Amino acid sequence: MTDPMHQPGPPALPAPFSQPFSAASPLAVPPAKKPKKSRPVLVGAISGAVGLVIGIGIGGAGGGEADSGKVTASASAAATTSGTEEVAEQDAAATVEPTPEPVATTPAPAEGTRANPFAIGEAVGNEDWSVVLSAPREAGAEVSAENQFNSPPAAGFEFYIVPVSATYTGAETGTAWLDLQVAFVGSDGVTYSDSCGVIPESLNDVGELYAGGVAAGNACVAVPAGADGLWTVSAGWSDPVFFTTTPA
């Protein structure tokens, strides 16, 4: 494609005239100058590059300040949080109360023991017998009237009758007056079990029982006059069960 700005020069001259004309020659035609298009682009590129560098520098400076502010705020917040946690820990440590020492407790004595007797009237039993003692009563006159040959109680003693109701629950047979023993344990720690002689409605009068049979009758014991203590009943060689002297 032909450049519209390019003008063709004069035809070539023979060798003696092939050297270019001097500037003084009126016929000299100066060569066409190419337009300088690259300068504005270069200047614009340089200006843009300078602006970009300046902008980056300013932005970097501004970002540094912003980052510095954020770091300062975070450090301040962290310091505040740390201080708050330390205060909370100190408060928690100050409010912690010592754990109280466990108080040793003594288990209650088993029911039916001397330390924890049953009340008169409560039923007790084992694999062979279920027994209920009713309220004891002084019975000197009753015993004396029952048989003229009965001896009076020894000096300082009294006759006490204890009503007994015993149900046989064993697999074979049982006899109440042989299997069961009623006694009195005084406050002096002595067991009293002497009988009174012939007594009314004696438990001894009830014969052998099969399962479900009931023996109802009286037992009588000579006890110290006015003594305080507990009544007991035992079956065979078992440990005695204790009762208070008054009904529930």
Q: pLDDT > 70: what percent of the chain?
A: 60
- Give how far the C-alpha of residue 140 lies from the chain's centroid of Cα atoms, to the nearest Å: 62
Q: Which CATH number fits domain 118-247: 2.40.10.120, 3.20.20.70, 2.60.40.1240, 3.40.50.920?
A: 2.60.40.1240
pLDDT for 62 equals 46
Q: Which residues contact 178 (CB under 8 A, 6 or more apart)?
A: none
Summarised one tens digit per residue, pLDDT across range 94-130 is 566 678 787 878 888 888 999 999 999 999 999 999 9
Is residue 133 within 8 A of residue 181, CB to CB? The reply is no
Q: What are phi and psi of 230, to 5 degrees?
A: -130, 150
Comparison of pLDDT for 245 and 80, the residue scoring more: 245
What's the mean per-residue pLDDT of the chain? Answer: 76
22, pLDDT greater than 60: no
Asked whether the whole model's pTM tops 0.75, one would answer no
pLDDT of residue 149: 96
The mean pLDDT value for 73-86 works out to: 54
pLDDT digits 0-9 by tens, 32-71: 555 444 444 434 443 444 444 444 444 444 444 444 444 4
pLDDT at 80: 54
Report the C-alpha gap between 66 and 41 in whole angstroms. 36
Count the residues in the chain.
Answer: 248
- Across 24-28, 104-108, 120-124, 224-228, least confident range: 24-28
- What distance in Å separates the CA atoms of residue 117 and residue 241, rounded to the nearest whole number? 8
Indicate if the pLDDT at residue 205 is higher than 80: yes
Tell me the C-alpha to C-alpha distance, in Å, between residue 193 and each of 26, 56, 136, 151, 157.
174, 118, 14, 16, 12
